[in-house]
């Protein structure tokens, strides 16, 4: 049983789309995916440097489009890492030579000319990797195998070329290919790869978060983000994060099941004997009920709840903590919900006092809510690094 645990709950629902698009000079999808990991990294940074015995962390994202609405972020990253490693095997230096040898070996020399005319050397290498990864040895091989393999590749160029491939494949050649074990095996794998059922099964295995040692998570993130992208060896962290999370983009921006995510967090903290800290990044608009009751259960478990209201709207002074709700807030919206869920702490408490050194404004009441409004990821990361990472050491 862990002595200390930090939980991170990140909202990736549809209502957060504009909030994550904070930097209008960049593509919005880059900012959304960057926010998911940079927030997590900011929280883990200090723990990874100063690891403690039996200290663990879990992270959930909620708001997926599938029937499985929540997911263990670290489990998903591990899955993406495995997929990437599988796809990175058997990449030949010269795609033309590799595909020529493969086509000749399987009695399809007619495919060589088409490949050289329509694919770049790098694209031919990618095609070779996918064909050898998804087909079995033996059986007839034809240009239709090229076509069906290209259908599962992400590049739009591959998709556009599929029609041209169809024009080059004779009916006799297609019939021979469809009778081969290699073709049937490739077709099955391609269908499984693209099926919603497979995606649902993968996500369902990751639905419940799992606590991991802080150092293990830090190593995982380092491993994922330090790998050079084949297309851009000098790529920035933004590019790496975008590439890493690209496969999950079609499955985010759904509804906002905050209550479900908080119930998972409650179960996790029951396994902790000492310090419990939960960080929630959201716009507070829950679609599966009122999260206050669950937040109260977390408080009864002595969980310190830190909430961040992320918005694309203007905030007069984001580097300010409050003790009472701002009277300018209208109605009981998501911001008010997150504010009421957050824990209170005396301003003399070490994590809060550190904010003064960073020129943050604290309320005169002598106590502050662990709630921050942010329209910049820099504010979120600064708050996490100063406050969240220090709460577990007090």
How far is the first Cα of the chain from the last one, in angstroms, to the nearest whole number?
A: 19
d(CA 197, CA 216) in angstroms, rounded, equals 30
pLDDT at 181: 59
The pLDDT of 99-124, averaged and rounded, is 81
Range picked from 115-119, 161-165, 177-181 for highest mean pLDDT:
115-119
Q: Which residue has the higher pLDDT, 138 or 236?
A: 236
Question: pLDDT at residue 105 above 70?
Answer: yes
Q: Percent of the chain scored above 90 by pLDDT?
A: 26
Range picked from 288-292, 376-380, 384-388 for highest mean pLDDT:
288-292
Under a CB-based contact definition with an 8 Å cutoff, are residues 146 and 190 in contact? Answer: no
Residue 319: band (very low, low, confident or very high) from pLDDT cuts 50, 70, 90: very high
Q: Percent of the chain scored above 70 by pLDDT?
A: 65
Question: pLDDT at residue 100 above 90?
Answer: no
209-263 per-position pLDDT tens digit: 999 988 888 888 777 776 544 444 445 655 666 666 666 677 787 899 999 999 9
CA dist 185 → 82, 130, 146, 325, 378 (Å): 21, 13, 14, 61, 49
Q: Where are the beta strands (DSSP E) in the chain?
A: 2-11, 55-62, 70-72, 212-213, 272-282, 304-310, 344-346, 367-369, 371-374
Report which DSSP code applies to 65: S
How is residue 18 written in tokens? 């504009």
Question: pLDDT at residue 350 above 60?
Answer: yes
Q: Is the pTM of this model over 0.85?
A: no
């Amino acid at each position: 049983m862990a002595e200390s645990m930090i939980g991170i709950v990140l909202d990736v629902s549809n209502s957060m789309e504009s909030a994550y698009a904070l930097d209008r000079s960049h593509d919005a999808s880059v900012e959304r995916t960057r926010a998911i990991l940079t927030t997590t990294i900011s929280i883990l940074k200090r723990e990874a440097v100063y690891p403690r015995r039996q200290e663990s962390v879990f992270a959930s994202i909620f708001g997926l489009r599938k029937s499985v609405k929540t997911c263990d972020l670290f489990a998903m990253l591990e899955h993406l890492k495995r997929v990437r490693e599988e796809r990175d095997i058997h990449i030949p230096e010269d795609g033309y030579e590799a595909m020529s040898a493969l086509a000749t070996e399987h009695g399809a020399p007619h495919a060589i000319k088409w490949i050289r005319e329509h694919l770049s050397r790098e694209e031919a290498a990618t095609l070779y990797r996918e064909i050898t990864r998804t087909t079995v040895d033996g059986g007839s091989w034809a240009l239709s195998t090229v076509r069906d393999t290209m259908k599962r590749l992400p590049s739009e160029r591959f998709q556009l070329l599929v029609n041209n491939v169809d024009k080059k494949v004779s009916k006799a050649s297609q019939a021979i290919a469809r009778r081969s074990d290699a073709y049937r095996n490739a077709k099955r794998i391609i269908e499984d790869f693209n099926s919603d059922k497979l995606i649902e099964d993968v996500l369902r295995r990751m639905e419940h978060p799992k606590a991991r040692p802080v150092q293990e998570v830090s190593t995982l993130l380092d491993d994922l983000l330090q790998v050079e992208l084949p297309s851009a060896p000098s790529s920035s962290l933004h590019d790496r994060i975008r590439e890493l999370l690209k496969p999950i983009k079609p499955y985010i921006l759904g509804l906002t099941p905050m209550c479900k995510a908080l119930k998972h967090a409650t179960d996790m903290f029951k396994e902790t004997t000492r310090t419990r800290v939960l960080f929630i990044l959201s716009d507070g608009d829950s679609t599966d009920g009122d999260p206050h009751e669950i937040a109260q259960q977390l408080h009864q478990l002595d969980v310190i709840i830190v909430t961040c209201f992320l918005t694309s709207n203007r905030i007069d002074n984001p580097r300010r903590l409050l003790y009472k709700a701002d009277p300018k807030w209208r109605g009981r919206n998501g911001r008010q919900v997150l504010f009421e869920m957050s824990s209170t702490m005396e301003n003399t408490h070490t994590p809060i006092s550190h904010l003064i050194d960073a020129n943050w404004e604290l309320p005169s009441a002598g106590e502050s809510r662990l709630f921050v409004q942010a329209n910049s990821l820099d504010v979120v990361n600064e708050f996490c690094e100063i406050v969240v990472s220090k709460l577990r050491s007090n």
